[in-house]
Structure 1
Amino acid sequence: MPRKQNHLTLHILTIIILYLLQGFVQGFTSSIQLYLAFYKASWQEQGIFSWIFYPFSLKILWAPIFDSIYHYRFGRYLTWLIPIQITIGIIFIILSFYLEYLLINRQIVTLTIIFFFIYFLIASQDVVVDGLSVLLFSNLNPQYASTCQTIGQVIGYFLSSTVLITFESSNFTNEYIRKPLSLPERSSGLFSLKEFTFFGGSQFIIVNIIILVIFFPKKSLNKTINFNIQNKKKMNKKLYLSETYSSILKLFQKKCMCEYSVILLTFDIGFAATNYMTILFLLEYGITPDTIALINIPSLAIHILVPLFMSQIQRHLQWFSYGYIFRLITAIVLAIYIYFIPDIVHRSYFCPKLDIVDNNVIYVPA
């Protein structure tokens, strides 16, 4: 029993770390949008850069490849996980030497191409890790998979957005770190964007080395990835690529899947503007990036606790409908507030107090 518990703990930590790396890329990309706005990128340029997010929406087109084509010695998912993450790490390390130049000179097309490819890789990594987590926890508790995903992605996003923007800022570090510690002020933060990007890329490579050193020689994870042959012979059957795509088409012929797909494709329309334009408006009206980054601090707990709570209840779509109505109302409130920000942002009574509503965090006057 202790040995099984140790394996479970190791698997949980592995999946959380892999999702953390995924969240790191997502948060880092959102930070790049803040940097672009800080360097006076136009709305059109921001729109061009937003094309990088499409691979996550289209990953179903190439996801079957990971189930159908793999090297048996490495397993169904390590075959893809290792090269994908090493590639991401190398790109981040090389990018660290040029990123500040690309941002300052607003090389939007170049940035879009680079991050589109990074997002393509991280969307592929998401497919692989999703499948890996389901397999690791299918015999124990399938809810571990979604819990690990939530914890890992939120922490990774927090590190590469809030931590990056806040501690890279010289204003914040001088005011709240160096001044209380009686340290001399500097024109830079605790680290530079170059150093943080290089650090992020190195973590991808280090994690891959650890996975190879710990798991591959023992082949414990590899056996699990290959579906535990004794207990899951049916699942272990290797499908041809055409058969995998055919299975997906059959799945979408079911009415429930069609209805669910319509929900996923349309539910974001009602608050798309407030979700993706609010930050840009705040920057345009003079709110500093490090102040905006602090928005994520109180929402960190919410993004972790709410999914944990939802995993314990029934009728998830019913709860979704309740939350959806509430979120639409808050989107209207937020839009009204943004409209009046030019009149209150420079008043003496304007105080950045955080009001957390569903997935939105908005500024309200004191």
Structure 2
Amino acid sequence: MLPERELKRTARQMNLPGFGPEQQERLHNARVLVIGAGGLGCPIMQTLAATGVGRITVWDDDHVDITNIHRQILFGASDVGRKKVEVAAERLRALQPGIEVTAVDGRLTPDNFIAALDGIDLLIDGSDTFATKFLAADAAEITGTPLVWGSVLRYRGDIALWWSGPGAPADGVGLRDLYPTQPDADSVPDCATAGVLGVTTSVVGSLMATEAVKFLTGVGNVQVGRLHMYDALSTTIRRFTVARDPVRPLATRLSTYTEACTSVPSTEGRMLYDALTAHHLPSLDVREPHEKAISDLPAPGLNLPLSEVERDPDAARRALSAFSPGDEVVVYCAGGVRSEKFVAEHAELASTLGISLTSLPGGVQRWV
């Protein structure tokens, strides 16, 4: 039975056709694990707590940063520096008095993921790396845990319910039926600069929460393997049905999952970074001004945003002419993608000016 306070708090919801006390009680008794208290995790947890999910576990090892709060709607400026899971737990308890929130300040890994899913009714993946998403998908398949999955980049978001493994429907579908292998680092957009519209994460997170509520209550039509692709600029949703690959073996163990955006720094990269910070080498930063405001190298050099180069064909020549013949100029950006592009396109020009260009591997996000 629902506690009297919870019955009253959610009374308006139980006026819905097909959604009565039985459905509300299912939510109240549900145990959900959310990966990440970020752009997706915040609206997901906010909506689930308000709707009436009674037990939420959240895993995250990060602290609130001022750059988070345009999209991570459980946090405010006064929370900067605090642990995300602690702030999230406070907000959820304010939304639903009596909710059981388990806030874990840590990361899910191949060593602890299977145990973390013990007793969980639904896993919700609000993470932002391929490594975590494939780890979550495999752990869910090994344990037969239903998985609400989502991702956001720029103005677009994807949502799906995956369910495969023990106890899943015979035609159950997993993430690896859509993406058999984890993409390599070269196929990943620049993680620090691709950008995301804050309201897009709220829309996608709310859609994920809606799928979770429908699944937990049995209300509406929830189809395993149905991929929803949301586009904010056109306000449209396209849908595709992913079928089970009959020849794909189900996951039976967790393996090693490499973070696409945090590969091991190279020796060359370390030497370049050390030389830059010791002011031994001149540098050229090709990021945009708002990126410099977020983070920068200890010894910043000349700034030439690539957007300026695209607008003005002579911008690169003017900037490179500011260096002296014989200079070995280190070009850097957020993740190394744009700096490599700049070096490739302007190496010949630099040579005519008597200077050389080298891209800093990994960029600012790897070294700062």
Q: Which TM class, normalised by the smaller chain length? A: under 0.3
- Of structures 1 and 2, the one scoring higher in RCO (CA 8 A, sep 6+) is 1
TM-score, normalised relative to structure 2: 0.24
Higher helix share: 1
Higher strand share: 2
TM-score, normalised relative to structure 1: 0.24
From the CA coordinates, give the structure whose radius of gyration is larger: 2
